[in-house]
Structure 1
Amino acid sequence: MNTQDVIRLASQYLERLSGNTFDVLDVSKPVTVDAAVNLSKVISKLSPLVGNLIEFNTVEFLNQQNEFTEFGKWHRQDPGFPDTIFLGIVQPTPGLELKAWFPLATEITARFKDSQNHFRFDQTYVAILAWLPDKIIYGKPRILDVCVVSGLSVAVARDTHYHNPPDYLVLEPEDTTQRTANLQQTNTSGYKFQGSAEEFLEAKKIVDSWGTQGKVYKPTREYQRLLRELRIRYEYRLDTNFAKMDRIVHPGIEEFKRRVYNTEVSGMTVGRWNKLLSSRLEGSIKKSLQDYLQIREESIDEIID
């Protein structure tokens, strides 16, 4: 078994998690529709906790599969990149970066900043697990769908999407290979041009002088030197939203998002629930919660009691 075999087998097992419920947490059913409306406003706050629990349990799930036993064991790195690596006789070491996604949030907020150079053997893949409570706002966490894509393909899609010199620069980390492991840097950064219109035209002439191939992103030391010269010469600001996975336009991730939003849960698609619960239409929210979740309206007698 080689690196790609391990990744392929792990991907197949992860994809089988779709539709499965994780018995790690159980949110009680609201007793009234008003309580349900209030719960719908705060349920997303569970996302970091449940996301971590799902990631922990996913590693345990992989280690329960007998096919891996002969060759090694999945080990969670906390902290560290990727989240889990396969320690054993297989080289280069396979790895999975696990991202739990709560699709009632506005977007996939997880970032992916690691350099293309980190994936030269295509040994690390990204696994996104979309989850919701099995009754949309209450119940146990259920995996809706799973997407597993090459980390290299994500890094390339990110750099291709953002790279647009001189307006936007994607810069590789400095060479830190001589440092100890905990001090080595692997993250790229994005910078947005902040100079004047005249300076922009001047910078554009510099980029044009690089030729057609000069506008194609490269993580090489030589090409990065050209970008850093622009960064030094003109004013740029660090883009704090850089590398959000929802914005890098990766074909596999975009298709995954469409599937998730079109998945029906408790009478409506996830996309419709997302739009409804993020709106301020409290009357429509109440009606939908009553119609699809059978949550009753509180009576006057109950309030008095």
Structure 2
Amino acid sequence: MRLGLYDAILRDRPLEEAIDVVAANGLTGIELNTGGFLPAVHVPTMDDVLVSDTARDDFLGIFEGTGVGIAGLNTNGNPLHPNPEVGDRHAGDVRRSIQLAERLGQHRVVTMSGLPGSEPGTRYPTWVVNAWHPESREVLDHQWSVAATFWRETDRFARDHDVKVALELHPQNVVFNSADVHKLIDLTGATNVGVELDASHLFWQQMDPVAVVRHLGELVFHAAAKDVRVNRSRAELNGVLDNNGFFGEVWGNGWPKQASWDFVALGKGHDVAYWTEFLRALHEVDPEMMVNIEHEDNELGSEEGVSVAAKVLVAADRALQESLTEPV
């Protein structure tokens, strides 16, 4: 497997320093944020790279001799947001990231499927958690129509640029589980839209990431290594959809202190043996798949958290490789 780090947690430092952190932890790739919810701080010359071979070569030269390469681009956002000030910008970031990937010799762009509003003309996205009422079905029909149109067009665009778009199965998006993936592919006939398998969001929804990988198979294009710890005493009272304690901007590392579940570094929710089987399932799909750590553990600082997670992921990969070479 190809092990790396998503750069969001190191966005407060220059790219060169972020690369040093990746290399120091035995990883070989860095997934670069290129828009969406977060700015493209590690690709400040994006506009130039898109049109200038010299700018492109200068940017790629930063990686030479480091032992670290680009491990995909990430533009997580809401390209279907009903407010065009948000939706159009995030959709544009997805397209620019696809173009940038081609320029940089990359073939994976990670994003989210997006979430429209409940009907035309609304300003805020609406997530239907459980469509038990007929009105909710009407909302979903509208949202899937918007999503199918956007992703049908984006799939063609990605195919033209030899890029595959990997959707993170993130709640508060139209596509957040296996059934949704199949529905999107059926509606669009997409060939270059698939999944970024981030285990963390599956854990707290009570899904099995290993089973999902084996179920989706070649629709899994990319993977994120992030763990979850369910706090049983709180989850037993409030469930995993609890909104208590949220305030302000939540992306980054903001999180309620009394949460039903938390994002944690690898090993704090599931042990090395589990992550070995996660990597095994991904290896069955693609032995060269990029698996990038995403650090959002509030109990650990940025470099400490990356180090904790990297030790577990590297150990899991070592165990996988040893098991693959054992005599039958």
TM-score (norm 1): 0.24
Q: Greater Rg, structure 1 or structure 2? A: 1
Structure 2 length as normaliser, TM-score?
A: 0.23
